[in-house]
Amino acid sequence: MTKNRIFWAVAAPVAAILNSLLFIYIILKIRGVDPLSMFSLMISYGFDPRNLVSELNQTIAYYLAGVAAAIGFKMLLFNIGIDGQYRMGAFFGAVVGGAVALPPVLHVLLIVITAMIAGGLWAAIAGYLKVRRGVNEVISNIMLNFIAAAVISYLLLPSMLGTLPEGSQTAQTFPIPASGQMPTIKAFDGEIYSFLFVAIFVGIAYWVMLNKTVFGFNLKATGLSFRAARASGVNAPRMIFVTTVLSGAIAGLVGIGTLLSDTHKYSMAFPAGYAFTGLALALLGRNHPVGIFFAAFLWSFLERSAPVLEFEGVPPEIVIVMQGTIVLSIVIAYEVVARINLRQQQRAVGSVSAEAQPIKESN
């Protein structure tokens, strides 16, 4: 039973990736380049130690975005507001980190907690609107993403919370002093953000919360059936709100690895687009902390190794096509697997049960 379950859990993403590779294979073939040599080029470039390090660092951010999305998915929430929540977290983390002087560990802790609170509060707006006003969270979150970007660029003005260093064109926050920086791990001529450990901890905490705690049980129950959860004693609307905030708090951490180990300040150069990536990764990783990790690494790997194709005349955008087909294939693959699973179980139930479906009463 367990072996069988693991097989099916892995089968779907593997099938989706193979399907995507086949699609890319055909595209490359049409373009007249040898697909296999392209693939091997990407692999050898992507697994080059120096590139591995930067892929790993990117994986941290993607992973956190994926976990944030997965928490929402468990509640049937489509948290497309990860972008805004991540910006709010990174920005306020940077502002607070640059404004205080504290002992080393405390300083970092303060930044991390500030980022989670900022991301969580930003998500709370969408959560409140959903629970109390019935506003669909997709719509409010998309708007909140724009509002977050606008609010932050306003707050970055030198007259507000930001600064414009001499010779620089972009407004940024005041730099975080050394006590508020996180060390890096030297490896393969590169530096891995030690925030990696925070990401691993978040993954473990997410798994434990979901599978071991009453809170996680209530969260899953509310996602599976609002009415059944309510009848079982869960305050379901409150649960939806709390889950939204939690998802936002994790999203608030997305940019913190870069902030604490690399840039030490927030500027408009922080990338956008974590919401879509996070949702895609949660989907690909099936909301499982280990699955999301592999998905996040795959994404970073593809993005890092794509530019090498340019030397061979293949536009690196091919990677976006690849990511897109993976996501499309995975949705279909999971649906197929879910149906096979249910049919298998029903057959198993049928074999022990002489009794079949009773009449449905509708009169």
Q: Which residues of the chain form contacts with other proteins (CB under 8 A)?
A: 1, 212-218, 220-221, 224-225, 227-235, 342, 345-346, 348-349, 351-363
Contact 179, 104 (CB under 8 A): yes
- Three-state SS letters, 316-333: CCHHHHHHHHHHHHHHHH
Q: Radius of gyration of the chain from Cα atoms?
A: 23
What is the token pair recorded at 116?
A: 């989670």
Cβ closer to other proteins: 37 or 232? 232
Q: At what angle do helices 104-133 and 137-155 cross, to 10 degrees?
A: 140
Contact 123, 251 (CB under 8 A): yes
CB of 22 to other proteins, least distance (A): 31
Cβ closer to other proteins: 237 or 316? 237
Cβ closer to other proteins: 14 or 348? 348
Cβ closer to other proteins: 229 or 327? 229
Cβ closer to other proteins: 189 or 361? 361
Geometric angle at alpha carbon 228, from 209 and 234, rounded to 5°: 50
Cβ closer to other proteins: 50 or 212? 212
CB of 67 to other proteins, least distance (A): 20
Task: Report the C-alpha dihedral over residues 78, 84, 88, 90, rounded to 10 degrees.
Answer: 90
CB of 246 to other proteins, least distance (A): 15
CB of 356 to other proteins, least distance (A): 4
Rama region for 97: left / alpha / beta (φ>0; ψ in -120 to 50; rest): alpha
Strand partners, 187: 190
Cβ closer to other proteins: 269 or 359? 359
Contact 72, 105 (CB under 8 A): no
CB of 359 to other proteins, least distance (A): 5
Q: Which residues contact 334 (CB under 8 A, 6 or more apart)?
A: 12, 286
CB of 105 to other proteins, least distance (A): 27
For residues 119 and 125, what is the distance between their CA atoms, to the nearest angstrom?
Answer: 10
CB of 344 to other proteins, least distance (A): 9
CB of 209 to other proteins, least distance (A): 10
For residues 276 and 359, what is the distance between their CA atoms, to the nearest angstrom?
Answer: 45
CB of 293 to other proteins, least distance (A): 24
Contact 68, 287 (CB under 8 A): no
Strand partners, 186: 191
Cβ closer to other proteins: 170 or 346? 346
Cβ closer to other proteins: 39 or 215? 215
What is the token pair recorded at 22?
A: 């086949």
For residues 202 and 183, what is the distance between their CA atoms, to the nearest angstrom?
Answer: 19
